[in-house]
Chains A and B, each alone.
Chain A
Amino acid sequence: MKQQHDVKRYPGLGIISTVFFIYLYAPLGIVVLYSFNANRITSVWTEFSFKWYGSALNNSALMSALKTSLTVAAIATVMATTIALLAALSIIRGKNVRYRKLSETMVNLPLLLPEIVLAVATLILFSLIGLQNGMVKLVIAHSAFCTPFAFLPIRARLQGMPLDFEEAATDLYASRWTVFRRVTLPLIFPGLFSGAMLAFLISMDDFITSNMLSSGGTTTLPVYIFSLIRAGTSPELNAIATMLIVASLVLATVALTVAARGQRTDAT
């Protein structure tokens, strides 16, 4: 008889998956590798050098784009997370709420539409009401499409949480605000944190809407990178890309560790 085999196992999947992970990471690896090339022509290797990192860090247009992106992302994250938290608390914990389903669809609406449609739609709206301030335009648009990304993890967290602790606190004469601050908030923190991280990430990464709404002075990082790419690949661009890849790596590790810790505390 042949060796006993597991019927749930399909042969060859390991190979496919290995190829998949190489496919996923090789392109990023190539960008990182090229960023250390001293040659002006990206893909012709001459020698190892950090010089493009220096020139990237001294690039004032890049730094100003980074500042715009961070400002917009920070404000949009706070707005989106607050709005999403309030909405999630009302939808999951609120009593006798009518239009629960409709409200949920409303919050998630940006997910159901291709971003380009929303981007041109907001562009027309802002031009009709004569809103000129680039920063305000970006913050409003970003808050809107970041809200569902903040909402989903918070809702998931609230839904999976029994009411027991909150009820116990109420029975011990805690005021509603105290219950929220001392019981509910710490319990939903992992969801709140990953929601905020996602919102921040989505805002930082956005190109389509920012490109539509940006005007002189409010160029965001992806829009600036786009203009660099349009001007032709340059080693400085590779250095910028590598720094961003490392930054995302750190951010993702922190975010996913917090999320994993949240899951572990649930299990106990």
Chain B
Amino acid sequence: MSEATAHHTDTPQRRRQINLPYVGLAPAWLLMIFALIIPILIIIAVSFAVRGAYGGFDWGFDLSGYRQILFNEGWTGEMEFTPQYLIIILRTILLATVTTVLCLILAVPVAYWIAGQPGHRKSVLVFLVTLPFWMSMILRVYAWMIILGKDGPLLRFFEFFGAPSGMTLMYNDGATLAAMVYTYIPLMVLPVFASIEKLDGTLIEAAHDLYGNRWTTLRRVILPLTAPGIASGVILVFVPAFGAVLEPTLMGGGKQMMMGSLIQLQFGGGRNWPFGAAIAMILMMFVMLVLIGLALRSARNEGES
């Protein structure tokens, strides 16, 4: 149907444009193939390569990159189960999930409230939500280093109320989480707001007329109808949170790593490229699984309605 209407202007004069679209698409394809597809194919190969003697890697087929995730070679050559990297993977899953959930819990009431404001005030509030996103990410993490750091305002506040003097708020998972929620929350509020704003208010009234209380209305009417916004918010927050580097590096210190900071370490100081590539592959596959899962879910929901 839309195809047919698109063709109605097909005069001979316009038909000469036929090859143009392909010329227009060529730069995008070239850039993405060179800067994305080929590098990803290479990283797959490198994850199976042999660790180079002085960093880097040598071509070959070896599973040591993947084996190292679970096992450590002892000094007599025996394989010993070491959970340290498994813990990093589990921490990544946990922190990224908790970040996404916290962002969602905070974003829904705020977005709902903004959507209910009168016109001019609404656009100002949306602007205020957007604004921190324009500020450098590293500075927003840095702000949390100051707040939670030693001599920081929060620690002073706790000490004033009798917290032990040796107390520290930095270099733990909570600190990483605080910075992650803070840096990614605008990415959740905006799509949820866009979705709530499109909501048909009469449906809420109808639910109320049918004796649905506020909670039931929220659960059975408002949330299902804002599902598309929630889904894009979840993707926008989960994908970068899962691959976070800055927050765990700065807030978690060297001990509380996530997969992103572990990968960075392996390609930087750690100099074990096959292992880093193997972690990157696992990270990538995890994100793909979540994206496919969400896509299937939304496809099923569309099928139902």
Contacts and interface: CB of A to CB of B under 8 A. Distances in A.
A7 B204 contact: yes
Interface in B265-302: 267, 273, 276-277, 280, 283-284, 287-288, 291
5 contacts: A90-B24, A107-B28, A118-B36, A237-B142, A249-B135
A98 to B, nearest CB: 9
Interface string A97-132: 100000100110111111111101111110110000
Contacts of B60: none
B22 to A, nearest CB: 7
Contacts of B34: 140
Q: Which size bracket describes the interface of A in this complex?
A: 35 or more
Contacts of A255: 134
Nearest to B40: A121
A144 B33 CA distance: 10
A132 B207 CA distance: 64
A83 B127 CA distance: 28
Contact of A16 (B24, B43, B110, B277): B110
Interface in B116-135: 116, 123, 127-132, 134-135
Interface of B: 6-7, 9-10, 13-15, 17-18, 20-25, 27-29, 31-32, 34-36, 38-40, 42-43, 46, 56, 106, 109-110, 112-114, 116, 123, 127-132, 134-140, 142-147, 149, 151-153, 156, 182, 185-186, 201, 204-205, 208, 214, 217-218, 239-240, 242-243, 245-246, 250, 260, 263-264, 267, 273, 276-277, 280, 283-284, 287-288, 291
Interface stretch (A58-66, A181-189, A201-209): A201-209
A196 interface: no
A225 B149 contact: no
B283 A116 contact: yes
A94 B20 contact: yes
Contacts of A123: 267
Residue with the highest number of chain B CB atoms closer than 10 Å, among A117, A207, A208, A233:
A117
